[in-house]
């Protein structure tokens, strides 16, 4: 249950701010947080190269 609430906690703490998402040492994205993410899905917008987008999806995917 704690893992499920982690994204909500992070986005609440950084609402209207920015977070940095890494895969290992590689910075994948630095999105601006516009809303608290507390559901099973969320949306990122922006211009990403396909390979970067795929890496990003793998980095944030959890089940």
Cα 2 to Cα 7, 24, 30, 38, 45, distances in angstroms: 10, 22, 24, 12, 27
What is the CB neighbour count within 10 angstroms for residue 29? 19
* Average pLDDT score over the chain: 80
Number of compact structural domains in the chain? 1
Backbone angles phi, psi at 55, to 5 degrees: -65, -40
pLDDT at res. 16:
93
Say which residue, 62 or 45, is predicted with more confidence: 45
17 within 8 A of 33, measured Cβ to Cβ: yes
Residues of the domain holding 15: 2-60
Distance CA 56, CA 50 (A): 10
Task: Write out pLDDT tens, residues 27-49.
Answer: 888 888 988 887 777 777 777 78
Q: How confident is the model at residue 4 (pLDDT cuts 50, 70, 90)?
A: low
């Amino acid at each position: 249950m704690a893992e499920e609430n982690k994204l909500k906690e992070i986005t609440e703490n950084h609402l209207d701010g920015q977070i940095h998402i890494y895969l290992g040492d590689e910075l994948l994205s630095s999105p601006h947080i516009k809303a608290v993410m507390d559901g099973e899905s969320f949306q990122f917008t922006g211009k990403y190269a396909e390979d970067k987008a795929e890496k990003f999806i793998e980095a944030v995917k959890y089940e």
